[in-house]
Each structure stands twice: as structure tokens, then as C-alpha cells.
Structure 1
Amino acid sequence: MEDALEKIEAIRNKEIHHRIKNNLQVISSLLGLQVEKFNNRECIKNSEILEAFKERQDRVMSIVLIHEELHKGEERDTLNFSPYLEKLVENLLQTYRLGNVDISLNLDLEENVSFDMDTAVPLGMVVNELVSNSLKYAFLGRNKGIIQIRLFSEETGQNFNDSKRELPVRDTMYTLIVSDNGVSIPQKINFENPGTLGLQLVSVLVDQLDGKIELTRNKGTEFKIGFNVSRVNKNLCF
């Protein structure tokens, strides 16, 4: 009976992810139709309005891909993040076709890294914003460029998740680095006064992860994000 109930719950969760994905795709399609409509108006065609709609479409698609991967995967509540990240950035490269600019994408991602929705959604949106920013601004006037994404972890030890010290929890510190070798972000831009909606959103999302972000300008731009993930260590439960 327990096995049967577990299978029913797994099917129900997959159906939920499938429906959420479909609903988000409808929203993305509506935004795409609006972009096409604006493209037919010369007064709007090259304006910030059109760019804003495209950016919102990308943000929606970053969440669509999460529910798509969860629907396909075996895990009910966690996402294998590295394959998702690969798919996300490949979609962004196709979206921002930069004429004759040759953009190389270097991915160095730890395998079998799984996050729940509370981590996967904001982290996916952070990557979406940072990679989009590089594709739009870092290589202006250049004929080639490199975008690199690294994701790795370091186990920080054991603690307990309540005052009774009954459930051992494993803490893991993750580091995400998104960098490019293009034109560095201007010195006047920082996270205290980002000046753009994209960087404001990145700052809010990193706070949501209880993480920290560092910006380095050295022959390009590098964003380094550190955040902690705690999981119950079943091997130590008693």
C-alpha cells in the first residue's frame, strides 16, 4: 500500500510540473506575440520596450526549463542542476544571435548537483540575467568572446536542524562563477546602486538564497556567488 501511494504521489507531482510548465509556456508565447507585434512598428522596433519584453520572456523560460526537467526526471522534488544549466545557456545563445560575433561557452560544472525548487529557481534566474548581460553588452565591437560558468561545492560539516539535535544536517557551500572576457562593467555600476533592473534582480535573488556575491573587473567581468545548502544526512539519522 505504501509503495502504491508513493507511485501515485510521484505521478501527481509530475503532472503538476507538466501543467505549470504548460502554463508558463503560454505566458512566454503571449510575450513572444507581443514582441512580433512591436517588431512591425518602426517607432518601437529598436526601443527599450521591445528589449524589456524579450528579457521577460527569457526569465519565464528559465523557470519553464526547470519544470520541464523535473517532469522528465526521476526525482520528485529536486533538480539535477548541471544539465539544466547547460540547456539554459544554450537557449540563451540561440536567443541572442550576435551577427558575426563568435561566442565560445566554457562550462565547468560539478556533476550530480541537485537543488530543490527554493534554490533552483532563483539560481537559474541569476544565471539567466548574468549570461544575458554578457551576451548583450560584453562583446560590442568585437568579433569573438568567451563566457565561462563554473559550479562547484565544498562540504562544510555537520550540524543539527533543531534545538533537540535529533536530525543531523550536512552543510554544503556552493560557488557559482559567471565570467566573460569582454568589456568590463563600468566602475560606476555596483550592487548598492546597480542602475539596471537585471542587476537589481540578481541582488534580490542572491539575498533570497542567503548568499553573497562579488563583482571583479579584470580583463572582463566576473560574478562570484557563494551560497549554502543544508540537507538531512540520512546516513547519520538515528
Structure 2
Amino acid sequence: MILLALIPCYVNISNIFEHGLLIDYFDEYEGFFKDLYAMILLIFLYISSIKKEQKTRVAHEHQIKSDLELKSKLLTEIHHRVNNNLQIISGLMALQIESEKDEKLTSSLNLIQNRIQAIASVHKIIYGSPNLLYVNLNQIFSLILSNLKITYLKENVDIELRELVEEGLEMDLDRAIPIGLILNELVSNCFRHAFTIENKGIIEVSLGKLEEEFVLVIRDNGIGMNVESEEKGIGLMLVRNLVKQLQGTILIGTLKGLTFEIRFPIKNMNPLKI
């Protein structure tokens, strides 16, 4: 566009040279040439500014990407080390359990070990996941329930554990450990207290979405429990505190066994800032 605008000027200037009127011409069009020069200078400065801004933006993007990759590696390493340390503690407790002859003490140590394993399970899945913001609930439930089966399903125990977990459920990291501990605590309670030797036991664990909430239901067909007396127990107190941490609700049913229904928001109201 600039070149096209200059063509008539070039033609007129050629005519001026032929007639010896160059000085008069430049005097007459001095303002025009100053404006033209200023316009070209502004265009040049504008293009230079855009290029500089693009270079700065690209440099910032590379820096942000590099920082995120470093942070991701550090978080992965932290989860890996936490899991390893928890596994060491769990292993030491297993050795202690094997050497103990007091059944009451052994039972208490098993409870503590299972809680440690529940926390370790979450960290294990986190460091093995490509996404450090959310964790797969199916994997967490599967790993925790597998550990509980190993602990409680002995040869002479006739208990069936049914898992009904909706596929593709994910949760932010800071709420994954509380839900893992809730699962561990309630299912452990079913294994330990719900059944007599005579009856066949069934424990059902289901997790799904209902509107804007996660719904976790754990039920058994056992002998039930006295809710008022159990309220004073450490296990149920721990569960209630964890549900409160999730900003959820818990309902307990005692018809034909025992049922725990826990609801909490899908969206984290107090997200962890990484």
C-alpha cells in the first residue's frame, strides 16, 4: 500500500526535475513528506514491538512449561518416597504382628496397618499416574479392598466382597486420602464385627455419581450394631471426622444388617493449591 501511494509522487517529482522546479515542489509538499516519514517510522516501531512481545511471550511460555515439568517431577518423587516410607512402616508392623501372641493387640495392630496401607495405596497410584491433579478412584478402591481381602479373608471365612464402582471416576488429590481411609475403616468394621461363624457374609461396596454428589454405600447382611454404643468408638468417630472434612453427610441404616451411605460434593470446595 505504501509503494502504491508513492508512485504518483515519483511521477510528479520526475516532471519537476525536467522543468527545474524541484525546490518549489519540496517546499510545497514538505508537510506531506514529513507525515509519510512519520507513518513509516510508526509502522516500523509497531512491527518491532510486536516481534519483541512475541519473543517475550514465547520465552515466558517456555519458562512456565519448564517450571511445571520440574514441579511435576518433584511431586511424583515426593509421593514415591512417602509410599516407600509407609510400606517400610507397614512391613515393620507386620513383623510385630507375627511375633505377638495377644489377639487383642494383634487385632489393633492390624487396624493400624490397614490404615497405613490405605494411605500408601493413594500415594502409590498418584506417583504412577500421568495426572498429578486427579486420581482414579477405581484404582484406589481396588487396591484398598485387595489389601483388606488379604488381611481378613482366611480359609475358614465365608465372606463375599462385592465391588460396584462406576468406571472413570476421578477425584482431586487432597480428598483422595480421606475417602480411602473411610473405605478402609468401614469395610474393616464389616469384616471384623458383622458376621458370626455360622452365617455366610456379603459385603457390598458401591460408588457413583448422583447429580452434583459422589455417593458411597457400604452395606452388609450381618448382625448389625448398636449405633449409640458404636458412636463412642474410635472407628466411627474417625469416619465422621473424615466425612466432615469432605463436607459430606453420613446416614446409617440398621435394617437387615448395616448400611452406611456417604454423600459429598463432586467439586472440591476448598481445593489444594499446588
TM-score (norm 2): 0.70
What is the CA distance between 1:143 and its match in structure 2?
4.5
1:139-158 correspondence runs (5 A): 139-155=195-211
- Among 2, 17, 22, which residue is 2:84 paired with? 22
Q: Higher Cα Rg: structure 1 or 2?
A: 2
Confirm whether residue 175 of structure 1 aligns to residue 231 of structure 2: no
CA shift, 1:33, in A, is 2.3
Among residues 189, 199, 202, which one is paired with 1:133 in the alignment?
A: 189
Which structure would you say has the larger RCO, counting Cα contacts within 8 Å and 6 or more residues apart?
A: 1
Q: Give the structure with the larger helix fraction.
A: 2
| Whole-Å separation in 1 of the counterparts to 2:175 and 2:227 | 30
Give me the whole-angstrom Cα distance separating, in 2, the residues matched to 1:55 and 1:80.
25
Q: Check the 8 A contact 1:146/1:181 in 2, yes or no.
A: yes
Letter in 2 for 1:186: N
* Secondary structure of 1:139 counterpart: coil
Q: How far apart are 1:230 and its partner, in Å?
A: 1.9
Which structure carries more strand by proportion?
A: 1
| CA distances 1:98-152 after superposition (whole Å, capped 9, x unpaired) | 4423222222112221112321111110110110011111122234211111111
In structure 2, the residue corresponding to 1:195 is in which secondary structure?
coil
Assess if the C-alpha contact under 8 Å between 2:164 and 2:206 holds in 1. Answer: yes
**Structure 2: stretches of 5+ with no match in the other structure:** 1-61, 270-274
Equivalent residues in 2 for 1:1-238 (5 A)? 1=62, 2-39=64-101, 45-46=102-103, 48-155=104-211, 172-189=212-229, 194-230=231-267
SS, match of residue 76 in structure 2: helix
After superposition, the C-alpha distances for 1:69-102 in whole angstroms (9 at most, x for unaligned) are 0111111122111121012112101111244232
Unaligned runs of 5+ in 1: 40-44, 156-171, 233-238
Distance 2:112 2:157 in 1: 24
Which amino acid is the alignment partner of residue 24 of structure 1?
Answer: L
Aligned length: 207
Cα shift at 1:30 = 2.1
